[in-house]
Chain A
């Protein structure tokens, strides 16, 4: 059973470049058909290798890995906030569907550099009751500016039972103090370059507040922001 916020390590067989597997959040999963959906943006050798694949090519997945988002303890009727930066939105379809099953509402804050970063918006809408707020750096969609500023203006203390966020490190660094000010219990889905994905290589550590390093793949990737030195 795949939990929202877990990830898989994907290998395109028969290649030495990329040699290491790449970590991808599970965007959606259908236990009935065995299908797993990943949302991928081409940025480096790993994602380029995927782009070159033709339909029905074989890839190998290791997983599900990581801790997943904590959604237990949220009462029915609660409202949460989901903040996503660009392809950082990848883990949220599965989360939103899990929230819908528990009758939990979610406001979705989605930011990107430009309109194309928000191209997959329809994958996140309609799962649960709630509002959608958009922002882009260049103003080509939604408000011009940062999604973290958008969130800061909309969020009030007590409005949300929890905050789930996924995006680039600068977004987390800006969002962590906002969540702290609101005393909002939060989980940030951290992105660190992973060698193995299951706690063996210790390559994906993140500086921690209460200990030197947090092992992102096994202790996370979803972490309360107050545990992390951003």
Chain B
């Protein structure tokens, strides 16, 4: 019953994504086909063939999804969070379902950057995937070392810094929760990598707009928001937390209105900063909502678990939407900011 892989079309000469990603490059512009120009979006230096990207931690290394998704069709895919060395992650139980979503405390289990470069990236490249490496560490030095390890990588489009994982003891969210720590980390990584730099922000930060401003000022090309919200579930019988880590990150449709509000807020405060919106996206109307709020691209997360082909379906539905109306996807960005005065409370924190 598993759908056969449909990835045969993306491999032809489409692997070298990074010249395009590293605009301005001296490459001659190729006249884009109709739908490609209709769907393409520009996130600072990063040009994506469409605004549909898969979120880190919900799409494995991409290769787990080739039965259902032609990776070349996606705007991009964010890898599982990579660390310098392989990381085992947290003890089970690691996930638990909650109303319209789930809590997870996977703990950033990953194969490490070296294995990613040797085992995963070449295959992703041959499939024509636009690959965004999501990276994390305990210390600033770890982040710098990882982006340096990625520096010579062929077939990488961008790097996304995870400064917002709530499920590890050190690093992770600690960088994202303080604007000064965010600024210090981002500025060090900025000078260490030639790739477009995306910083993934935490909705748990005390002041998301200040964190966003700090990351942007320190050199982030793009901000992705938001990561998961710290939550908790307790078994009413045993009165023990359902996750071994105690708390976990909440994702899924349950967080969508919170994430839309945050994207709207940051877009309003930093109108020139390219944003990727994340949080409970599983339908075309969700995509349109995030674009309207000010995201130039979006990331599909938890929905990938429920419907592994959802990312490609959203690309196809957005294509039909844009073709049917004869409009470019880029023109859908920020519409909510042009439709009238901001609601009085939209700028208020908390």
Q: Which A22-67 residues have a C-beta within 8 angstroms of B? A: 45, 61-65
A196 to chain B, nearest CB (A): 4
Which chain B positions have C-beta within 8 A of A18?
97
- A213 pairs with B60, CB closer than 8 A: no
- B305 pairs with A200, CB closer than 8 A: yes
Which chain B positions have C-beta within 8 A of A193?
93, 95-96
Instruction: Report which of A45, A63, A201, A206 forms a contact with B95, defined as CB distance below 8 A.
Output: A201
A200-B59, A202-B106, A213-B109 are known contacts. Are A19 and B1 too (CB-CB below 8 A)? no
Of the listed residues B67, B91, B94, the one surrounded by the most CB atoms of chain A closer than 10 A to its CB is B94
- Does any Cβ of B come within 8 Å of A20's Cβ? yes
- B95 pairs with A198, CB closer than 8 A: no
- A20 pairs with B306, CB closer than 8 A: yes
- B306 pairs with A21, CB closer than 8 A: yes
Of the listed residues B60, B91, B93, B305, the one surrounded by the most CB atoms of chain A closer than 10 A to its CB is B305
- A198 pairs with B1, CB closer than 8 A: no
- A199 pairs with B95, CB closer than 8 A: no
B136 to chain A, nearest CB (A): 15
- Does any Cβ of A come within 8 Å of B253's Cβ? yes
Of the listed residues A64, A193, A202, the one surrounded by the most CB atoms of chain B closer than 10 A to its CB is A202
A193 to chain B, nearest CB (A): 6
- A196 pairs with B1, CB closer than 8 A: no
Per-residue contact bits, chain A 92-133, to B (CB 8 Å; 1 contact, 0 not):
000000000000000000000000000000000000000000
- Does any Cβ of B come within 8 Å of A205's Cβ? yes
Chain A minimum-CB-distance residue to B107:
A202
* Cα A62 to Cα B60 with chains together (Å): 17
- Does any Cβ of B come within 8 Å of A187's Cβ? no
Q: Which B65-124 residues have a C-beta within 8 angstroms of A? A: 65, 67, 88-89, 91-97, 99-102, 104, 106, 109
A197 to chain B, nearest CB (A): 8
Chain B minimum-CB-distance residue to A211:
B88
A1 to chain B, nearest CB (A): 10
- Does any Cβ of A come within 8 Å of B30's Cβ? no
Interface size class of B (residues with CB under 8 A): 20 to 34
Interface size class of A (residues with CB under 8 A): 20 to 34
Chain B minimum-CB-distance residue to A21:
B306
Which chain B positions have C-beta within 8 A of A45?
97
Chain B minimum-CB-distance residue to A197:
B305
A70 to chain B, nearest CB (A): 20
A202-B109, A203-B95, A213-B109 are known contacts. Are A20 and B102 too (CB-CB below 8 A)? yes
- Does any Cβ of A come within 8 Å of B4's Cβ? no
- B104 pairs with A195, CB closer than 8 A: yes
A201-B58, A203-B106 are known contacts. Are A213 and B88 too (CB-CB below 8 A)? yes
Which chain B positions have C-beta within 8 A of A8?
1
* Cα A61 to Cα B1 with chains together (Å): 8
Which chain A positions have C-beta within 8 A of B67?
198
* Cα A11 to Cα B96 with chains together (Å): 17
- B253 pairs with A16, CB closer than 8 A: yes
Chain A minimum-CB-distance residue to B65:
A200
Of the listed residues A17, A63, A65, the one surrounded by the most CB atoms of chain B closer than 10 A to its CB is A17
- Does any Cβ of B come within 8 Å of A158's Cβ? no
Q: Which B302-329 residues have a C-beta within 8 angstroms of A? A: 302, 304-308
- Does any Cβ of B come within 8 Å of A192's Cβ? yes
- A195 pairs with B89, CB closer than 8 A: no
Q: What are 14 A-to-B residue pairs whose CB atoms are below 8 Å?
A: A11-B307, A16-B99, A16-B253, A19-B252, A65-B2, A195-B95, A195-B102, A198-B67, A200-B60, A200-B304, A200-B305, A202-B94, A206-B92, A213-B89
- Given A11-B306, A20-B97, A62-B308, 8 extra CB contacts under 8 A: A63-B1, A192-B92, A195-B104, A195-B305, A200-B59, A202-B94, A203-B106, A213-B88
Nearest 6 A-B pairs (CB), nearest first? A203-B95, A212-B88, A196-B305, A16-B100, A200-B60, A200-B64
